[in-house]
Structure 1
């Protein structure tokens, strides 16, 4: 679904085609969280609906990150990340060229950060759920909104920078 949305959106606005799947993800999490505010037993009555919606949202996120990173980053496959990390750690012993060594180290750092994010997110999510139930979903909603805002800010900055550099040359 995420790939389909990105492909469709890129025909019309290629620089921000990712906004639609992120907005859908935000909408899903916000709906679940707000419904739990309004009907406190909703999460106990419809756990399958909530699980399905959150799994769909997670799939959107995984496909989006995979597409945007051109399959460099996978955000829901820890076993693959650990496998790739092990392979790259062993490659450090065999490749001595600086450029290759630097590339491998950067890839190891990226995978280590993603794995750390999984564990940190899992712990904080579990603790947050104990205290706030599904209202904790407001935290990733806010984080995604901030990411969209920041990306828009960067886009405008680079657009203006390009505009002024073209006018001065």
Structure 2
């Protein structure tokens, strides 16, 4: 979203309002996705549901399935100068980012790499900092577990991006269908458990 916001500002300054409105619609789609995720999670949390995180995941999976099946048709429809596919994907990214942010208690963001690489750099700086002459209570130490987690997330971004690009190149929009099915499979169990518990 950083790029979209800076592009939006740039295009407003240049007077290119069509592109600025397109950026705004992408930003708003992400924002509404994040808000939707928070609403679903908080609703589930208040009711002490096991599926509090599965609900936004199921919505995400369903939307990815729609994207995979109808993507080429959605591409021709526009929402404020942007293809509907862009708005849909921004909405899904907002859902995903908010869900993981809530699950991880704001430790992890899943839709941007900048913060991830920054955190890796910080941890590496702490890890390689030499504590010559430092008092025992003032030692700078890197968190190897956090570094491992951040590194695996960065690698996942890379592998996921590569897989998505190759998949889209060969299968088009349908390349998201297997991922959507996996996400549905992950989300359905806690939702079914909650439905059974509600009936029982």
- Which of the five TM-score ranges fits, normalised by the shorter chain? 0.7 to 0.9
Shift of 1:148: 2.9
Aligned-residue CA RMSD (Å):
2.4
> TM-score w.r.t. structure 2 length?
0.65
> 2:42 is paired with a residue of what secondary structure?
helix
Q: Which string of whole-angstrom CA distances, capped at 9 and with x for unpartnered residues, describes residues 63-98 of structure 1?
A: 00010011111111211111110110111134889x
**Does residue 1:58 correspond to 2:93, yes or no?**
yes
Match of 2:160 in 1: 121
Match of 1:85 in 2: 120
**Does residue 1:106 correspond to 2:145, yes or no?**
yes
Shift of 1:44: 4.3
Would the alpha carbon gap of residues 109 and 13 (structure 1) be closer, same or farther in structure 2, given more than 3 Å must change?
same
| Equivalenced residues, count | 145
> 2:50 is paired with a residue of what secondary structure?
helix
Greater helix share, 1 or 2? Answer: 1
* Residues 17-36 of structure 1 aligned to structure 2 (within 5 Å): 17-36=52-71
| Structure 1 segments unaligned to the other structure (5+ residues) | 156-169
Shift of 1:28: 0.9
| Structure 2 segments unaligned to the other structure (5+ residues) | 1-35, 194-200
> TM-score w.r.t. structure 1 length?
0.76
